[in-house]
Amino acid sequence: MRTLRLMVPLASLALAAAPTDMALTSADGFALKGTLTLPPAKGKVPVVILAHQFGSDRTGWAPLAERLAARGIGTLALDLRGHGASTQKDGAETRITGDFMASAKAVGFDKIPADLAQAAAWLRKQPGVDGRRIGLAGSSVGAFSVLLAAPEVKPIAILSLSPAGTVAFGADARERLKGALLRGRTSALVLASEGDKDAAENAQAVKDLPGVAVTVKEGSEHGFAYFKERADLMAVFFGEYLTYHHSGKTYAAEAARPAAPDHLINDATMAEQKKADAPK
């Protein structure tokens, strides 16, 4: 069964509004930077907050951001603490190194979920943004962080690519991950690979939670590597939850709806949902 795709001319992407710079200071003194980009629209638009993987920066989300813009969805792409332009803490340079654990301790990766909640609060105050329709997307350590941030951010939908870096979040991180998803009452799509041990174990830990769809595939692909074959699926996932369901209904009820059993968003899925949403 083919995956549903919405084809939009690339020329339409050029109509996107000029990006807005985001600058916040975290509770522990990190100067956090990001870019808010909204597509042209008559009213307020949904926005997905993007949290990249270790060693990357906000530009790594370009393949997904372009597809979201084509579907009328804005993005707030962050440079996570210690990465990109977010390397000043209390006026001192505090940047990651190639050592993940050393960087996690020096930078404070366990505080990234709080950074995301702070960014979401800023986002909801921006003109042109529909604060009821917020999504989260993360890759690797960013993927683990967006799941933990669910209760505070209250997103409608979360995309988690290879949720990893568990050791950076404390001894009980996996249990807190499950608790956060239960309290967050959101719809989550989690992708991981069998050969990516930490990410695969985290994906398996949350696979039976309400509203969570998990795909663990063969191989060892990690994080942004999924864009090559699944960027369209990711964009359709957010399109379904952030635009298709925007009908004035209570979003908590929409978000609690489990994903399709085969974890695909396809023609049959959409047809069933349209029938369910049709006026009685």
Q: Is 258 helix (H, G, I), strand (E, B) or coil?
A: coil
Q: How many domains are contained in the chain?
A: 1
The percentage of the chain sitting over the pLDDT mark of 70, rounded to a whole number, equals 80
Cα–Cα distance for residue pair 45/39, rounded to 1 Å: 8
Residue 197 lies inside a defined structural domain of this protein? yes
Find the CATH number of the domain harbouring 121: 3.40.50.1820
Spell out the long-range contacts of 9-14 with Cβ–Cβ below 8 A and sequence spacing 24 or more.
10/70, 12/70, 13/66, 13/69, 13/70
Residue 244 lies inside a defined structural domain of this protein? yes
Residue 168 lies inside a defined structural domain of this protein? yes
Residue 15 has pLDDT above 60, yes or no: no
Q: Which pLDDT does position 264 carry in this prediction?
A: 43
Residue 83 lies inside a defined structural domain of this protein? yes
pLDDT digits (tens, 9 = 90+) for 93-112: 999 999 999 999 999 999 99
- Look up the domain containing 40 and give its range: 10-277
Residue 249 lies inside a defined structural domain of this protein? yes
Residue 4 lies inside a defined structural domain of this protein? no
Structure tokens at 191: 């992708």
Residue 129 lies inside a defined structural domain of this protein? yes
Q: How crowded is residue 63: how many other Cβ atoms within 10 Å of its Cβ?
A: 15
Tell me what the pLDDT averaged over the chain comes to.
86
Residue 277 has pLDDT above 50, yes or no: no
pLDDT digits (tens, 9 = 90+) for 159-204: 999 999 999 999 999 999 999 999 999 999 999 999 999 999 999 9
Phi and psi at residue 33, to the nearest 5°? -120, 150
Q: Which pLDDT does position 271 carry in this prediction?
A: 41
Buried b (16+ CB within 10 A) or exposed e, 128-143: bbbeebbbbbbbbbbb
Model confidence band, residue 42 (pLDDT cutoffs 50, 70, 90): confident
Residue 108 lies inside a defined structural domain of this protein? yes
Q: Which residue has the tokens 């979040």?
A: 169
